[in-house]
Structure formats: structure tokens, C-alpha cells
Amino acid sequence: MRIGVLALQGAVTEHIVSIEKTGATGLPIKRVEQLEEIDGLIIPGGESTTIGKLMRKYGFIEAVRDFSHQGKPIFGTCAGMIVLAKKIAGGEAGHLELMDITVARNAFGRQRESFECDLEVKGIDEPVRAVFIRAPLINEVGPEVEVLTVYKDEIVTARQGHLLVSSFHPELTDDFRLHQYFADMVEASGTANK
């Protein structure tokens, strides 16, 4: 099974290391043609405006929408979650607009720009170590979205069918269980090239 990491901007290498721990092959994706070689895609953290701009420039908006419409799983972490969202609070235009969530950028305020904690994630047995860096959170979810983590009354992990998002950076710790959760989604999607 091959899982790609969109490699236009942001934290790519760490995701690849975590993917490989699940037993899948991790590949950096720099050109749209490479989407044909993978079974699942991670959109990493970084700066969502920059990632969105580069995705437009290199034809990734249409190509990733197509990838999603084929039922292939996508996991957006932090800025990647913003890129996947249908709506961004405050009126800024969305990017892929695939997942029925409204997100707020930089939602934790200056005092809490970055922090770590342990979080319960539905579907994972023990709490997961989460690193938040200028993180977004989910303000609203549509009827098809399953909330996986609530932290201090805020939604920070969610899933809609083959789409998964987290406000935090699961690639910045040794804990690869959220990557394992995603790899299991890819496996179960039945679209993986065996």
C-alpha cells in the first residue's frame, strides 16, 4: 500500500517516517501525475494559504478532488485540515472544499500558540499525544461528519467517510497510531493497489 504526502510546503518528512512505521510505503507528492501511484494522501501542516496557492498553481485542486471522488482516502493535518474544509470562518475562500466542516484558523489564541497534550480519539484505545502549533479548530460539522475528539469543548479530530482531519500534528511524536488509523482506512477503502 502506498500513501503519499503532498510535498508543496510544510512538514513532509516526518509524515513519511510515521507512514513507514505502519508498514505502508510513504512517498512525497510533488506533481499531479504522482497521485496515480498512491492509495491515500496526507495533506500536511504548514501554512494553508501558501499550500492552497501552490495547489492552484500546479493543478492539484482539480486533481485531488478527482482523487477524492474515486473514494481514495485523504488525511489533512493542521493546515491540511483547513485545505480540506468546505468553509473557513471569517469569509476567507476555501481550497479543496471537500469535507463538510467549518474551521477557524489560529483558533487557540496567542497564549496557547503551541502546546502538547494527551487526547482521546474515538476508535483508538489509549490517548494519543497531540502537538498543536497555531492550530485551527472545527466550529461546525455537517450531518455526515463523525467527531472523533473533543478537547475543551472544541472539535479537533473528525472523519467523514474516507476523509480524516486533525487540528494537531500527529507526525511530530513517535506515536503513529493516527497514521495507523488512516492506513486502516486506506486498506478498508478497497481502492488500494495490492
Q: Residues with catalytic annotation?
A: 78, 169, 171
Q: Residue 45 interacts with ligand GLN (CB under 6 A)?
A: yes
> Which x/- pattern over 100-119 shows residues binding ligand GLN (rule: CB under 6 A)?
-----xx-------------
Q: Residue 170 interacts with ligand GLN (CB under 6 A)?
A: no
Q: Residue 54 interacts with ligand GLN (CB under 6 A)?
A: no
Q: Residue 87 interacts with ligand GLN (CB under 6 A)?
A: no
Distance, C-alpha 152 to centroid of its chain? 21
- By C-beta, is 78 or 148 nearer to ligand GLN? 78
Q: Residue 134 interacts with ligand GLN (CB under 6 A)?
A: yes
Contacts 24+ apart (CB under 8 A), 153-162: 154/107, 156/119, 156/130, 157/119, 157/121, 158/99, 158/101, 159/185, 160/99, 160/100, 160/101, 162/68, 162/71, 162/72, 162/73, 162/74, 162/189
Number of Cβ within a 10 Å radius of residue 53: 14
Cell numbers for 42? 496526507
Applying CB under 6 A, which of residues 17, 21, 32, 47 lies at the interface with ligand GLN?
Answer: 47
**Contact positions toward ligand GLN, by CB under 6 A?**
45-48, 78-79, 82, 105-106, 133-134, 136
